[in-house]
Amino acid sequence: METSILTSKGQLLIPKRLRNKYGIKSGVKVAFIESKDGLVLKAMDEAYFDQFAGLLKDSVPSTEEFKTWKAEEKRKEEHRTDRKFGSPAKRSR
């Protein structure tokens, strides 16, 4: 087990052996993840983001769903505009 001391500025030194082992290089962001057992530190490198690949694959709307949503959004906006400024026929008078 290796230890480190938190500085008055909130900085924490990650021991060199662990930085080398886990590929934590200068400039790499580190995620602090809370778990039921404590705090986990993970380098936010390419491997970190690769674990999320495909996570939202099934929740992406189909083209038809997207078109339906946009048509509904347009209808609602036209309704709001008509209520505020009158229908297009009334505005042309």
Separation between Cα atoms, residue 26 and residue 23, nearest integer Å:
10
Condensed to tens digits (0 to 9), the pLDDT of residues 31-77 reads: 888 999 999 888 876 666 666 666 666 666 677 877 888 889 888 88
> Any residues with CB less than 8 A from the CB of 28 and at least 6 apart, and which?
43, 44, 45
Separation between Cα atoms, residue 25 and residue 18, nearest integer Å:
11
Q: Which residue has the tokens 């008078």?
A: 93
**pTM of the predicted model, to two decimals?**
0.46
Q: How confident is the model at residue 79 (pLDDT cuts 50, 70, 90)?
A: confident
Locate the DSSP E strands across the chain: 30-35, 38-43
Please say if the pLDDT value at position 26 is more than 90.
no
- Which CATH fold would you assign to the domain 1-53? Pemi-like Protein 1; Chain: D (2.10.260)
